[in-house]
Amino acid sequence: MRSSRRADAYARALRPLLGDAAGYARAILRSRHGAEDAIQQAALRGWERFDSYDETRPFKGWWFAIVRNCCIDMLRQAGRGAPQDWAGAGAFDQSSSEPEESGDWKALDDALLRLSDAHREVLRLKYFGALSYEEIAAALHIPRGTVMSRLHLARKALAAELEKEEP
């Protein structure tokens, strides 16, 4: 990055997204520690590529695509193999000192693991990442209309899964 002004612009754009990105990465990797690493990698990767960022596209969508790819890379490096493996495999390798993840979000994401990749992707970006339709479209490189219809069907699928769990 050649300009300190551009560097400041990148840091300013990134700062408000970190909490959402951390939650999103944590849901994928099932590890707070792993999520922190992924976010750090994504921040640096975005820094390197910011000069090529198209300002007509939403920044959050652009950067979350990078976050997603960093999470995939980390899972592959941990030996999770192809995307269908990481999508359904469960926890990222956690260090022995890190407590097992738990909480409402984990119960939600456990249900997401039983959905198709396409449905899980949009729901994670919507709920964990808090992305708009336009941002999800940019992150997944799909049309906004597809996001709208896919998200609706994903919600119905998730509701059906959660209903199965009810006593």
Partner 1 sequence: MTPIMPEELSALLDGELSTERARQVRSHLAADPSLADEFHRLSMQHSQWQDAARSARFAPAIRLPEVKVEFGWQFGALVGVLLVLRLGSKLISPPGTTMAIEAIALIALLIVVTAKGAHQAEGGA
User: Quick check: 92 binds partner 1 (CB under 8 A)?
Assistant: no
CA-wise closest residue to 125 among 69, 82, 61:
61
Residues in contact with partner 1, shown as a per-residue x/- string from 10 to 39 under the rule CB under 8 A = xx--x---xxxxxxx-xx----x--xx--x
Under the binding rule (CB under 8 A), the answer on residue 132 touching partner 1 is: yes
Residue 151 binds to partner 1 (criterion: CB under 8 A): yes
Q: x/- binding map, residues 94-113, to partner 1, per CB under 8 A?
A: ---------xxxxxxx----
Q: Is the dihedral of CA 143, 149, 151, 157 positive or negative?
A: negative
Q: Tell whether residue 161 is a contact of partner 1 (CB under 8 A).
A: no
Among 94, 79, 85, which Cα is nearest to 29's?
A: 94
User: Which is nearer to partner 1, 4 or 79 (by Cβ)?
Assistant: 4
Under a CB-based contact definition with an 8 Å cutoff, are residues 30 and 92 in contact?
Answer: yes
